DNA sequence: TATCTGTTATATAATAAGTATAACAGAGAG
DNA sequence: CTCTCTGTTATACTTATTATATAACAGATA
């Protein structure tokens, strides 16, 4: 599997999983309807616990990025992803805020900061370019 | 004091303090050389513990945003703020990454995301417009 | 001498994160 | 029907983080 976990990181394992799965969807390495490994097999692959994987899946299911069929495992949401609603825009602003503040203090202009944001977005998308 | 703490938030108190102080510097509500309340008085004002405030001050001192004179308390770095070095740019990219990914999944374009980032930056700066 | 400053050292409580086992219901394959 | 896979739920335990509570120390100020 293409997933990697950093056990030394200060960001929780289940958050790393959530982030990487969203990145996978964003870059179209994971397409709507694609099956995901079972909680047990992915946990075994990564050398972590079943519940840690399940927690990540639950969050993504709750947010509408994944679907569970009870029938055959977990799949990437086939029926259209959730949109950029008010709740998300608020969450987004809240997340960007401390980054923008520190960037400003360190001398980055609004344009530099915006370009940096765009660059990260761009780089993220380009990871799916050579997907088979 | 102008600081506010949300005890119900999932973000640690000392992190809230760090963020708000950086925002204060960014918006020039806090200027180089300005004195900050002592760890004891700020803790008393906010109804929290001395060590929680001290932890925030330590982080900001470590990053070069504050200076400690042992003589009369803590002051905003008077000799120029640290710049946007490679370490910060890496930290910035790492912080933006999961936000950009989710924004992309939710249908925001690169331009929309960059504009959202710029908007947050702008709004942050404008808070110091009517400072006396 | 008091009183303020940051700093350090302990100890404790509360919460979050991660693990370890176990068991259950539904679905598919033999 | 039995075996095996799926997600899900429950319980218990360990560990790390966060926050608090006291106490004490060195330096500076009035």
Tell me how close the Cα of A131 comes to any Cα of chain B, in angstroms: 17
Ranges of H-type helices in A34-132:
39-46, 50-62, 86-105, 110-126
Confidence (pLDDT) at A130:
59
Bases on strand C under 7 Å from any protein CB: 4-10, 16-22, 26-28
Confidence (pLDDT) at A131:
45
The residue-averaged pLDDT of A107-118 equals 98
Residues A17, A59 within the same domain: yes
**Inter-chain contact B122–A110, Cβ cutoff 8 Å?**
yes
**Which structural domain, as residue segments, surrounds residue A34?**
13-76
A52 domain residue, yes or no = yes
Question: Whole-angstrom Cα distance, residue B101 to residue B85?
Answer: 24
Domain count, chain A: 2
Closest nucleotide (CA of B50 to C1')?
Answer: D20
Between the alpha carbon of residue A47 and those of residues A4, A7, A39, B31, the distances in Å are 11, 10, 12, 49
A19 domain residue, yes or no = yes
Closest by alpha carbon to A72, among A34, A35, A127, A41? A35
| Cα end-to-end distance, chain B, whole Å | 15
Residues A17, A58 within the same domain: yes
Residues B101, B121 within the same domain: yes
**Inter-chain contact A101–B26, Cβ cutoff 8 Å?**
yes
Q: Is the CB of B32 under 7 A from strand C?
A: no
Residues B121, B72 within the same domain: no
Residue B70 confidence (pLDDT) above 80: no
pLDDT digits (tens, 9 = 90+) for A70-87: 777 899 999 999 999 999
Residues A98, A69 within the same domain: no
B81 domain residue, yes or no = no
Residue A132 confidence (pLDDT) above 50: no
Residue B23's domain is classified under what CATH number? 1.10.10.10
Q: At what angle do helices A110-126 and A86-105 cross, to 10 degrees?
A: 120
Residues B20, B72 within the same domain: yes
Residues B90, B72 within the same domain: no
């Amino acid at each position: 599997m293409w997933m990697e976990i950093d056990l030394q990181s200060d960001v929780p394992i289940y958050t790393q999983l959530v982030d990487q799965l969203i990145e996978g969807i964003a870059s179209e390495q994971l397409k709507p309807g694609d099956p995901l490994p079972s909680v047990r097999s992915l946990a075994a692959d990564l050398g972590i616990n079943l519940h840690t994987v399940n927690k990540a899946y639950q969050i993504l299911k709750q947010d509408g990025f994944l679907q569970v069929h009870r029938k055959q495992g977990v799949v990437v949401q086939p029926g259209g992803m959730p949109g950029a609603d008010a709740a998300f825009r608020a969450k987004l602003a809240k997340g960007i805020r401390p980054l923008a503040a520190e960037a400003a203090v360190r001398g980055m202009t609004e344009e530099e900061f915006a370009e940096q944001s765009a660059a990260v977005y761009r780089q993220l998308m380009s990871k799916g370019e050579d997907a088979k």
